Amino acid sequence: MSENHELFISGDGSHTLISPIFQTSYHSLHGAIQESEIVFINAGLEYLKAKSHQNIFVFEMGFGTGLNAILAKIWAAQNNIKLCYHTVEAYPVPMEVIYKLNYHNIIGNQQDFIDLHHLSWSRLHTLSEYFDFCKWDGTLEEIELEPKFDAIFFDAFGPSTQPDLWNIGIMSKMYDMLNDGGVLTSFCAQGAFKRHLKSAGFMVDALPGPPGKREMTRAVKVKMI
């Protein structure tokens, strides 16, 4: 199975993978690291930092290569902001594929990156003063988590690949998982996705997307007065 995960060098020099199950890439082919930084770190975490959050609960849909997770861990340490990072993954990437990824050439932190993959599932691990981490082995559809989150990194494969993960039911579930003032970000700017977010109760903004994408989405759970 692992030999079927094809490695691809994206536009910024960082690897992405092509999924043997879904026949699509894990990240933008224009730049994997660039996309993660713009969509999740900048539009999500920097947005909350600007609102003076010091202790941020993050939920990531789709652990995948672990790229978003390691970038978030690095960001937390650089900003002295504590993250409690939960992620769910239904189809873990085999370790032999993870070892081939070239992220350490660009962002360093290879041991931390590998450690994220070796950690046991479904247990909260304190990895540093600024980073608690828990990865759940299961599906987004089934997962029920106790804490409420401040940021959701909605990083499923796109709606044309996994339409069932972009519907109104899932967006309502994401809304319920967030604290008031919480934010969901996604690389996707599809009209139906934004309509489902609005129907679920979110205030939706179209932001400039990463290279190769005109727009992306940020949705905020506005506090009800």
Q: Which amino acid is at 213?
A: K
| Nearer to ligand SAM (CB atom), residue 21 or residue 203 | 21
Stretch that binds ligand SAM, among 57-65, 94-102, 115-123, 202-210 (CB under 6 A): 57-65
Stretch that binds ligand SAM, among 78-86, 155-163, 201-209, 216-224 (CB under 6 A): 155-163
Name residues contacting ligand SAM, limited to 88-117 (CB under 6 A): 88-91
CB of 213 vs ligand SAM, minimal distance in Å: 14
Using CB under 6 A, which of 31, 44, 64, 210 touches ligand SAM? 64
Q: Does 34 bind ligand SAM (CB under 6 A)?
A: no
Q: Which residues bind ligand SAM (CB under 6 A)?
A: 26, 62, 64-65, 67-68, 88-91, 139-141, 155-157, 162, 165
